[in-house]
Structures are given as C-alpha cells and as structure tokens.
Amino acid sequence: MLAKRIIPCLDVTDGRVVKGINFLELRDAGDPVEIARRYDEQGADELTFLDITASSDNRGLILHIIEQVASQVFIPLTVGGGVREVEDVRRLLNAGADKVSINTTAVLNPQVVADAASRFGSQCIVVAIDAKKVDNQPHEWEVFTHGGRKATGLDAVKWAEYMASLGAGELLVTSMDRDGTKIGFNNPLNRAISDAVEVPIIASGGVGNLQHLVDGIKLGGADAVLAASIFHYGEYTVQQAKAYMQQHGIEVR
Amino acid sequence: MNKIDIAVIDYGMGNLRSVAKALEHVAPDKSVVVTSDPAEVAQAERIVFPGQGAMPDCMRELDARGLRETVLDAAKKKPFLGICIGLQMLFDESEEGNAKGLGFLEGSVKRFPSEMKDSHGDKLKVPHMGWNQVYQQDSSHPMWQGIADGERFYYVHSYYVQADDGAISSGYSDYPQRFTSAIATKNVFAVQFHPEKSAAAGLQLLRNFVNWTPTL
C-alpha cells in the first residue's frame, strides 16, 4: 500500500539553508546539497525548500540551489516562497523542482493557482495554507498570509476546498498556533481539511517528538508530515522517525 | 548531427529536467538530449517518452509538434521507455477529457474512483501520490534486474491504464485495488511511476533501460 511520507523542510535565505545549521556540526552549515543528500540517504520521501529571502534581489539564488540538488538527489523536491506569478512557477520547475508551493499569492490572486495547474498540471501545484484559530467568527480556523501576520477573513476549511477545486494537487497545512511550539500538529484542523478534500494533505507546524508524527497521521488524517527542527538539530533521524511510525502501525517506505 | 544515445521527447508539457538529469547520472558516458525535433528522435538509439499534466493537453501538444508518427515509429523498433502520461498515451483512450491516445496499445485509461477507503477505513486520496510497492509479474525482464519485487517507487497520478491484453502487464500496485503500473511488450517498457524520482530503485530501472537490448 501507499506509504505515508516524511518530508524534511529546509528554510533558505539568500541562497543558504538557515535551519540546517547544526551548531555542533558546522561542516553542514549552509550547504543545501549536502543537507539534502543526507536526508535522502536517511530515507526522506521528499524534500521541501522554503525560500524566506526578504530581498527580491537575492531571490534567484534559490534556483541555483534547486539546480544543484536536483542533479544529485533523485526524490521529489517542492519549492515555495515568493511565488507571485505563473512565470515564477515555470522558473522553479525548470530549475528542477517537482512541485511548487503557492501561499500568499493564492489568496491575493487565486487565478494564479488555476492557471499554473492548467499549464503545468495539478501534480506540481501545492497550495500552502497558514491557519490560525480565531474566536468570535463563524469559522474555527482562519487563513493568514505574510507569514501569519495578516488575517484574511477566510475559513481555512472552505479555502482548502476552493484551492483543490482550482486545481491544487496537494495542500500544505501549517498551524500558525503550533509552529515552533513543539507541542504537536493541530490535528483537529488537519482532520477537518483532510476530510473536506480529495487531494493529499501535508501536516506542518508543531512537531516536537516522534509521537507527534504518528498523531498527525492517525488523528489528523494527514497523508504526509513535514518537520524541520527535529531533523535539523539532530534530535532524530528520518530513519528513527520511520521506525517509530512503523512500530505504530503506519505504512512507511 | 552528433550521435544521440538517448532522446527524451519534449512536447512542451512539464519538467523534463529531472528525467534528463537522472539519465545523465546513471549513464555519464551517454549523450542525453531533450528534444522536440522529430529528426533527432528518429536518429536517437533509445527513446524516453515522459509526460506530466493532463492527457488531452499532452496529446494536443504532441500533435502540434508533429511528433505523433515519430513516437509511434520509435515505439515499433527502438528501446522505448514511457513514464507516467507517457505510458497512458500509448493506449487507445482516456477518461481524462475523453482524450484519444496514440492507440499503440489496446486498452484505456481510467480514473481512480472517489471515496476510496483503505483496510482501516481511512480515506484514500486522489491523486495517488507517494511511494507504493511495485510487484513484478515478469521478474526475469531485464528492466527489473537488481530491483526487489515489492520495491517502492514514487507515484503521482489520478488515472491508471487498463490493458485489454493482461499479458503485457509487467508490474502492478494496489490502491486499494490492483492496477497495472508497468507494461512490457517487445522493445517497449512503460511505467506509471516516476523512476527519475524514485531514489536508488528508480535509478536502477533507468540504468537497466540504458543497458537494455530488447529482442524484437
């Protein structure tokens, strides 16, 4: 049967991997190809690169990284961050990305999602949804943009359905309440979205231990789990995560 | 014109860089060309026919570039590897947009049904995306050499092929019902999964293709 996926996420700024810096092992610092290869060797099912470059001058640097990684690592690569138009999607795919993740632009201009999906196929269009729990609203979770700073008024579950209907082939759901907390994924949010759409969802935000990965799949109904810090800082390897998931009855590669 | 060992057919749909890079990785001494030029395809020793996106668009773009006959000709006589939509397009027709395929193989392309469940009662998503086991039906085929039966390969698709002649099925996967994930006939081998994205097992399959001498 189909395996549940583990996806390490690498944050890239100005052409360097920043979360990949392990202060105990500086030899890995900033070398995206080496980090990508290490995760590949550990059995990562895919890799996600998130370009958090602030200045548009340096945004092209991600293309170099993707080109280098794609020449040496033969697993699916997703790239997100700063995608504003269909042309950005094309550039990233040409550099060697297999999927492109669209976040703020999807809210500002949903047509970009529809156009990119119809031009390149749904299989390579991921919509990233940053959601936060809200009070005094008809909905429980709301879509936020600009790294969680701007509220949109959109119901995250309805938004997920809309994005899938426009052609998103996969949804990356990040709980802004959980991101960085290490207390686990927001499983009710993920479950609500997973039940509402037919496309796969990736759970993101909040992983602190391996049980959280299991819960993300069993309770949250996620098809894949994304994590950054538990892998980057050497707390766990991808193998350890897979062994743990397998012990708990989850199909892994 | 320089000798072309492997032509990756480019009909303008999606990213062919991964396929070309993976071939270059397993065959550093071979010339790999990504091309939409029928003359280059005709001249190449081996053909890779990839595909992404929707089949109606793929067929339209293939025809727009005048590649239909070139592809059919290659499929009749050269080592030929179809990947994903490149497998589906070899068949008569697809439920996707009711597209007509190349009709090289008899059979059709079906969509996974909605509301599928696994054995635990959990919903199975479409597209079928991720790593699934591939069971070999003809493990003596040169394309499966060095690859374990049941090895996992990376998939992303919503449609699967159903060949009229079950004997051409060379591998299958379960989601949750069994579907054909590889076909083999003479000089043609075609797979639903993406060997170029399937880590070591995928590279081994591509290596097998580079070294394959089919018996016609």
**Tens digits of residue pLDDT in B161-172:** 999 999 999 999
Query: Within a domain: residue B216?
Result: no
**Which CATH number characterizes residue B67's domain?**
3.40.50.880
Q: Is residue B135 part of a domain?
A: yes
Averaged pLDDT, A115-129? 93
Predicted confidence (pLDDT) per residue in B187-212, tens digit: 999 999 999 999 999 999 999 999 99
Are B197 and A74 a contacting pair, CB within 8 Å? yes
The answer to the question of residue B1 being in a domain is: no
Give the distance, in angstroms, between the CA of residue B192 and the centroid of all CA atoms in the same chain: 5
B99 within domain boundaries: yes
Q: Which residue has better confidence, A55 or B86? A: B86
pLDDT tens-digit map of B51-81? 888 899 999 999 999 999 999 999 999 999 9
A-B CB pairs within 8 A amount to 110
Closest residue to B132, CB basis, from A1, A75, A76: A1
Kindly tell me if the per-residue pLDDT of A19 is higher than 60. no
Catalytic entry in A130, A155, A215, A223? A130
pLDDT, averaged across chain A: 91
Known catalytic residue at B58: no
Highest mean predicted confidence (pLDDT) among A20-34, A220-234, B8-22, B66-80: B66-80
To the nearest 10 degrees (0 to 180), the angle between helices B68-77 and B55-64 is 100
Choose the weakest-confidence range: A16-20, A69-73, A104-108, A152-156. Answer: A16-20
State the Cα torsion A158-A160-A162-A165 to the nearest 10°.
-140
Residue A218 has a pLDDT of: 96
Annotated catalytic residue, options A11, A45, A179, A215: A11
Is B39 within a domain?
Answer: yes
The answer for residues whose C-beta is within 8 angstroms of residue A23's C-beta and 6 or more apart is none
Q: Any catalytic annotation for residue A155?
A: no
Give the residue from chain A lying closest to B53, CA to CA. A121
B86 token code pair:
């490149």
Q: Which residues of B touch A (CB under 8 A)?
A: 13-15, 17-18, 21-22, 25, 52-54, 114, 118-119, 122-133, 152, 154-157, 174-176, 194, 196-199, 202-203
pLDDT over threshold 90, residue A32: no
pLDDT of B1 reads 63
Nearest to B52 among A45, A124, A199 (CB): A124
Using 50, 70 and 90 to split pLDDT, how confident is the model at A55? low
Tell me what percent of the residues of chain A surpass a pLDDT of 90.
73
At B131 the pLDDT is 98
Please indicate, yes or no, if residue B47 is contained in any of the structural domains: yes
Is B43 within the bounds of a domain? yes
Q: Is B110 contained in some domain?
A: yes
Query: Tens of pLDDT along B105-164?
Result: 999 999 999 889 988 788 899 999 999 999 999 999 999 999 999 999 999 999 999 999
Residue A169 has a pLDDT of: 97
pLDDT value at position A29?
44
Confidence of residue A21 (pLDDT cuts 50, 70, 90): very low
A4 with B122: Cβ contact below 8 A: no
Asked if pLDDT for residue A22 goes beyond 50, the answer is no
DSSP A55-79: SGGGTTHHHHHHHHHHTT--S-EEE
pLDDT band at A30 (very low <50, low <70, confident <90, very high): low
Model confidence at A16: pLDDT above 70? yes
- Nearest CB among A71, A74, A170 relative to B129 is that of A170
The whole-model pTM stands at 0.95
- Percent of chain B past pLDDT 90, that is, above it, reads 88
Chain B residues close to A195, C-beta within 8 Å: 123
Q: Which residue has tokens 């794609």? A: A70
| A6 neighbourhood in chain B, CB within 8 Å | none
Number of structural domains in chain B: 1
Q: Which chain B residue is nearest to residue A77, measuring alpha carbons?
A: B197
Q: Domain limits at B195? A: 6-211
